[in-house]
Structure 1
């Protein structure tokens, strides 16, 4: 067994087998290019969230990234969906393609097995975390609509969970629904509103309001290249880059303005760059790298 295979087995033991000692784990073997997997995924996520208090959790195994694990379970096609309890497969759920079919099969399994129900407090919170992580992964993959659906479902189980609230806000922003995102932050309890994650989301919203989309970004970039002394055009280019989520290009453009004239427009480029840092998170490695570049421009 290779080192990578040993690592995959350890991750599977930690994330799937150990939780199955007390919970019923739905194992979804899927991969990114599989159309039926993308159709079934939201159904599994919704039902898992609804059944979390009954002791059901969802584990997603990307077969492209975990070929060794898939081979151990003799996965021949995807999606393949199993249920595991106490380290043993107890059911093949692959044929359950609708919410009602899946719930019917789960109800039958739960009547037969001593699955521990989800508990209040820390145990319930632990059950929520994999769902929050799933929403984050879906959002990072570019499917904001599906991510929002996941966060909405989890919010019903944990309405005061800060990670869920922040995930919803970021998904709404990705969909361009900034007013709804602002309303979601405004509705948070006072203590939650002080959370650093919420502060970052608030900063990202402020940045989104200021980052003006550009109809012809390539044309504006060409204009800036032809006339590098036009710092106003360069600043508009940075705004357009931020509006598309291209933070690397936006930071590079703002740094180029600072290098050309750090006091231009009352230091607007530096202020915008600092806002971008705050939105990303001051502890983020990307921000640390950009801060070093800023220091080199200012003091190099």
Structure 2
């Protein structure tokens, strides 16, 4: 997957989620709610058909967890229709990590005009109201699944760990039955703390979840990422890099830069820095560096290809 220039993601990351053919929709603006249009409805547990009436509410739901918009036309581009179907189907596999919004530009041309859609297919991720172009072609389902996994894993590494609740035709997209934003109640206290800037509170809430269920991978990843945020509060990146350059075997100096790289979306750089540190150190220092690296693995997700590769490199460094 090739990177391209995109708007900054969460936590100020400059990491992109794009592939060849991505387009820049940095000027994306929500279409006004209301107006004529067919009645929308859920087409899957985590996908919904969009029209002028619910389009804005779906964009607003991106403050809870990511929304992936797919613009398609079965008449102009049959492959775009197939892509929309694939995304709707795959969304269920991710159990609320994102909501797919399906925009049929034939049925809702006003949305396409308002969004200045250049062509279909077009897929855009919206996180906290900010758009990030993903692709404008129609990859096969396996490749699409891999792309979605990479998007979710990077967002988790950046502290975006909310979930949407399953959609129902009885509630508007992006809202629960009472009209409020949907969120998995297990993670709501930690997410609320993060949104309020209360990192210590988020750590406590995620720790409670992990203590209650050590097998909760989502809570473990949230705790690991919140801990990274806790460790880096008030850190100066330039000063940290200078300290690490002056003290190449100082575990605290190196782990600080690794944490800052993680927050900036430079996951491989963070991993490689600590793997090299493991190679250079021994005894307690080596153990400290290794344990810190394992914490970063948890923050990203143990199934992430970058983690799998780094684990192999770590094993080589150790043995």
TM-score normalised by length of structure 2: 0.45
By relative contact order (CA 8 Å, sep 6+), the higher-ranking structure is: 2
Higher share in helix: 1
